[in-house]
Structure 1
Amino acid sequence: MPISPLGNLTAEQFLAEYWQKKPLLIRQAVTQFDWLPELSDLLELASQDDVESRLIERKNNRWSCESGPFRPSRLKKLANNDWTVLVQNVNHHVPFAAELLYRFDFIPHVRLDDLMVSYAPPGGGVGPHFDSYDVFLLQVAGKKRWRISAQSDLSLEPDSPLKILRNFQPEQEWVLEHGDMLYLPPHYAHDGVALEAGQTWSIGFRAPSAQEMGGAFLDFLRDHIELPGAYADPGLQRPHDPASLPPAFVEQVATMLQGIRWDEATVREFIGRYFSEPKSHVFYDGPEDDLDEEDFDQAVGRRGLVLDLKSVMLFDENRFFINGEPLATDPAAATALRRLANTRRLPAARYDAAALAALYDCYQNGYLHLG
């Protein structure tokens, strides 16, 4: 059982007293690391096409921001201070980063986003800013000074490539060392500056705007509704004003559009698809040696299964979604699939035919792998 990152607090205490309410500093939240990357490891990730990365520099009090992938020669030109390399979705590429991210499963998986790693030499940071989502900031090696504020003035510097607060007024300050972690609710102003070369591992959460979800839901409806009939006006009469919208035309169109309906089941399916859908740069590779169903059954019995690091699996009662797709399953498969979704793995065992059928399709798509 993974050690909780909340220190002496229970998940229930944290959710009741701090979640989306006030900041929390936890000393030595994470003390054991199976992966401690060097700068070279992060730069290697930042050079890959399927990894989102950014380079932020501050020169002569001016900010700049470049997006990766980066050539090694670009990163060799960096100064000794005042820059930051950020690598998104490290949990897609490093098993320990994924395991650490899912230690935060006291928050539903549907809200988990990614684990981002940023490296900064002395003076490095991204400026005073705020996030629209909850975030845990874990210090890994080195030291960083964090200043935070609950200020209501969130106006930004004009003409800046970054969302830098124009008038940051810090209220609290801490120095975080290796293993220390700071939780911040949404819209809490903060500024982190490296005192020694080190990393910040940011555990972020999804909080899409109503506008974003509304647009996505309308796209979903467009692909899932069927409106019968077509416009017709056999009783049309010559108009007095040809350019005017005829009331009968407006009424008929309004009646046709009333056929666009949804219910809670429609919303649940949309949520399952939307919140498990991979980002545009994410791809899956099927198995190199594709087993047939019988051999797959035998292999699962010996080795078990693990979800791909990039896979997101959610469920709603007996409906399951993986990477934006619904799984067609028999109710008999529900127990095994719930366990896979919750723990991201299944132990070596014999599973019933219904579960194996669903698992085999996911295996062929590269959504999961033999343990």
Structure 2
Amino acid sequence: MKKITPPLPLLGGISAEQFLNEYWHKKPLLIRQAIPDFKPLLSKDELFALSGRDDVESRLISFFNKHWEMKNGPQQHLPVKQKQDWTLLVQGVNLHDDAANALLRQFRFIPDSRLDDLMISYAEDGGGVGPHFDSYDVFLLQAHGQRKWRIGAQKDLTLVEGMPLKILSKFKAEQEFILEPGDMLYLPPKYAHDGVAVGECMTYSIGFRAPSYQELGESFLHFMSESIDLPGRYADPELKPSTKPAEISNEMVDDISAEIAKIRFTDDDILIFLGEHLTEPKPNVFFSGPEKPLAPKRFHQAAIKNGLKLSNKSQMLYKGKHVFINGESFAVNREDKISLNKLANERRLDGADLAAVSADVLEAFCLWYEDGWLEIC
């Protein structure tokens, strides 16, 4: 019998199955008080401080004199309070704040391979990023103040030329909502929307990964370049005198085409590529191990006593015998697979779990701890 998950308050009292069947990739969903009495997880000053760090991705978007401008971080100077119509976007807040990470993980009814990050948008009255669309699904959770959203399922996605942002030139709103703290709006990919701050406000965006096939194809070819094995070198012992020296011969094209056609890839190649690609940290993600790491023996004792948890920055996935973490992959035996899969799914292991893992996995855990991938609870 197929297991049906219970209704989720986060989704307005419907189950994850119902949401995926009726709304995911299909139509918007407005959820009043998805998180009742929600309070911002970071203050305005804490968010501004994050935007000034070089290991945090941020953008400052302003609209002055009918002209859009965008400045990538680190943000050293934010607009003076007298100016309005500006928005600060801070990506990946879940990587740097435990409460933000816990909020993001509430959306794990969508697989980790698709879940991306939590972005915080701060705006003064009238601030926004203009009418636009995203190429991925997004949940927009109001955290502080109010934001007016206008949305529409338009087919014309023509953009304004010469702008640093993807602003829709012919935006037509079909619905309009004002979101209060705790309210949330889900939008499927390419659904046009325009959000404008009503007074000072903060909005949390839970976004999802939707890599283009072009991106995946290019990355896969690069991945496979390390495993291609085509021995030998081009030769033409039956070469005939040429009357057209600048022309590439059919013989050369055929010979090299036949050699390149020998390149083969398997489902396992694609799986390993995908696992490593999806867990590869973004360029601005840096891991920091403990200042004074415990020696291996002390680490094992502390881990079994207190348990371990993945760093907020760590991404861990698995499939079959393969386990992937932060862009690396390895095959595991059936016994270790149980504990490693649990670590990936629950993002932590308690002492009883650790007592059952092999010496090789404990050694790997110690290295991950030293690199900042794992933390002692």
TM-score greater than 0.5 by the shorter chain: yes
Q: Which residue of 2 aligns with 1:162?
A: 165
Moved over 4 A (4+): 32-35
Moved more, 244-253 or 358-367: 358-367
Q: 1:28 to 1:67 in 2, by over 3 A?
A: same
1:347 matched to 2:347: no
Relative distance call for 1:290 and 1:342 in structure 2 (3 A) is same
Q: What secondary structure, in the 3-state scheme, does the structure 2 residue paired with 1:41 have? A: helix
CA pair 327-283 structure 1, distance change in 2 beyond 3 A: farther
CA distance in 2 between counterparts of 1:357 and 1:318 reads: 19
Q: What is the alpha-carbon distance in structure 1 between the residues aligned to residue 58 and residue 356 of structure 2?
A: 40
2:186 is aligned to 183
1:73-112 alignment to 2 at 5 Å? 74-75=77-78, 77-112=80-115
**Number of the residue aligned with 2:362:** 356
In structure 2, do the counterparts of structure 1 residues 12 and 269 end up closer, same or farther at CA, with 3 Å as the change threshold? same
Residue 366 of structure 1: how far off its partner (Å)? 1.5
| 1:250 to 2:253 alignment | yes
1:305 maps onto 2:311 in alignment: no
Matched, 1:366 2:361: no
Give SS of 1:193's match.
Answer: strand
Note the residue ranges of structure 1 that are not aligned, 5 or more in a row.
Answer: none
Distance 1:87 1:101 in 2: 15
- What corresponds to 1:140 in structure 2? 143
**Alpha-carbon distance in 1 for matches of 2:327, 2:88:** 30
C-alpha distance after superposition, 1:97-119 (max 9, x if no partner): 11111111111100011100010
Per-residue deviation, residues 36-78 of structure 1 (Å, max 9, x unmatched):
322111110000010010111111221111111011xx21535
Query: What residue is the counterpart of 1:7 in the other structure?
Result: 12
Match of 2:3 in 1: none
Instruction: Within 5 Å, give how 1:329-340 maps onto structure 2.
Output: 329-340=332-343
Mapped partners of 1:112, 1:41: distance in 2? 24
For 1:79 and 1:316, locate their aligned partners in 2 and report how far apart those are by CA, in whole Å. 53
Q: Tell me the TM-score normalized by structure 1.
A: 0.95
Aligned residues: 368
For residues 4 and 148 of structure 1, what CA distance do their matches in structure 2 show?
24
Q: Deviations over 1:307-351 (max 9, x none)?
A: 111110010122100011013533321111111111111123323
Match of 2:20, SS state, is helix
CA distance in 1, matches of 2:174, 2:34: 23
With over 3 angstroms needed to count, the CA separation of the structure-2 counterparts of 1:341 and 1:33, relative to structure 1, is: farther
Contact 2:316–2:325 under 8 Å retained in 1: yes
1:15 and 1:270 mapped to 2: Cα distance?
Answer: 27
Deviation per residue, 1:134-176 (Å, 9 max, x gap): 0000000100110000000100111111111001100001110
Q: Secondary structure at the match of 1:224?
A: coil
Matched, 1:325 2:328: yes
Which whole-Å CA distance do the structure 2 matches of 1:4 and 1:107 have between them? Answer: 16
- 1:123 corresponds to 2:126: yes
Q: 1:232 Cα shift?
A: 1.5
> Deviation digits for residues 181-212 of structure 1, max 9, x if unmatched?
00000000000001121111000001111111
Residue of 30, 39, 50 corresponding to 2:44: 39
SS in 2 for 1:275: helix
CA distance in 1, matches of 2:362, 2:40: 33
Query: When the two structures are superposed, what TM-score results if normalisation uses the length of structure 2?
Result: 0.94
1:264 maps to: 267
* AA in 1 matched with 2:30: L
Cα distance in 2, alignment partners of residues 295 and 229 from structure 1 = 52
